[in-house]
């Protein structure tokens, strides 16, 4: 039979863990170092867009495993293309102020494995700080179905809105992906792009979500 104070003891441990951490703004170069080492999109992270960048720090941590004290990074940016807001909320280009994408989230693997619930705590605290520093009407985030289903976003009360539309990308014969310009006559092939799980958190009650909210994720978690 468990000790009658065991649950209280567990609660104290969780509170102590969270009190050991804090968040603060972080530069793009500082964020990049952690992203390049630990984010699953390492190659893409080389040219990630900077915005409202926040770092997760542990107080009085001088461990050699630390990267400048940063244990995690979360980045909020403007929506990449106006079509996202048009599809999600039916808004024109001139109506998209206050809409953001949670474009990068990364926690040092040692911290993630050792500290219970640290990722959801970090996301919640960062969003709270972000909303104090910017007018935030809604946040959209994606989880690449090739890698995961976005469990952390559901844990943080984002609304799940299914998968993004199926699309293809053109790859040249040397394996590089076409980014812009004409491809007529180029050697290569079209390949299916991995679809993204879509998540939305809304703060402006005037917004109307047009994407269909779903109760479960059908692919990887």
Residue-wise pLDDT tens digits, 43-71: 444 556 788 999 999 887 655 445 557 89
Residue matched to tokens 């009407």: 137
Q: Which residue has the higher pLDDT, 45 or 130?
A: 130
The pLDDT-based confidence of 195 (bands split at 50, 70, 90) is confident
Q: How far apart, in Å, are the Cα atoms of 101 and each of 1, 20, 64, 178, 190?
A: 47, 28, 33, 24, 27
The pLDDT-based confidence of 6 (bands split at 50, 70, 90) is very low
> What is the model's pLDDT at position 22?
93
Domain residue extents for the chain: 18-202
> Please, what's the b/e burial string for 45-74 (b: 16 or more CB within 10 A of its CB; e: otherwise)?
beebeebbbbbbbbeeeeeeeeeebbbbbb
> What is the model's pLDDT at position 171?
73
Specify the range with the lowest mean pLDDT, choosing from 94-103, 107-116, 129-138, 198-207: 107-116
Other beta carbons less than 10 A from residue 11's beta carbon: 10
The two structure tokens encoding residue 181: 């310009």
Residue 40 DSSP one-character state: S
DSSP SS3 for 126: helix
Give the dihedral of Cα atoms 44, 148, 81, 74; nearest 10 deg: -70
Specify the range with the lowest mean pLDDT, choosing from 15-24, 41-50, 55-64, 157-166: 41-50
Query: Sign of torsion, CA 60 66 71 76?
Result: positive
CATH class, range 18-202: alpha beta
Percent of the chain with pLDDT over 70: 74
């Amino acid at each position: 039979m468990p000790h009658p104070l065991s649950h209280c003891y567990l609660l104290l441990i969780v509170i102590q863990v969270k009190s050991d951490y804090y968040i603060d703004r972080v530069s793009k170069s500082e964020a990049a170092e952690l992203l390049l080492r630990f984010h699953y999109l390492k190659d893409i992270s080389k040219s990630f867009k900077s915005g409202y960048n926040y770092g997760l720090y542990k107080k009085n941590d001088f461990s050699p495993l630390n990267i400048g004290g940063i244990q995690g990074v979360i980045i909020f940016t403007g929506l990449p293309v106006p079509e996202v807001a048009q599809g999600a909320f039916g808004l024109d280009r001139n109506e998209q102020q206050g809409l953001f994408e949670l474009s990068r989230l990364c926690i040092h693997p040692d911290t993630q494995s050792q500290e219970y619930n640290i990722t959801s705590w970090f996301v919640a605290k960062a969003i709270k700080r972000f909303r104090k520093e910017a007018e935030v009407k809604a946040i959209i985030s994606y989880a690449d179905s090739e890698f995961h289903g976005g469990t952390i976003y559901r844990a943080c009360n984002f609304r799940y809105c299914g998968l993004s539309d199926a699309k293809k990308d053109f790859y040249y014969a040397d394996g590089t992906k076409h980014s812009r310009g004409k491809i007529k006559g180029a050697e290569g092939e079209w390949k299916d792009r991995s679809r993204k799980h879509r998540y939305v958190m809304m703060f402006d009650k005037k917004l109307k979500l047009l994407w269909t909210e779903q109760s479960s994720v059908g692919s990887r978690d």
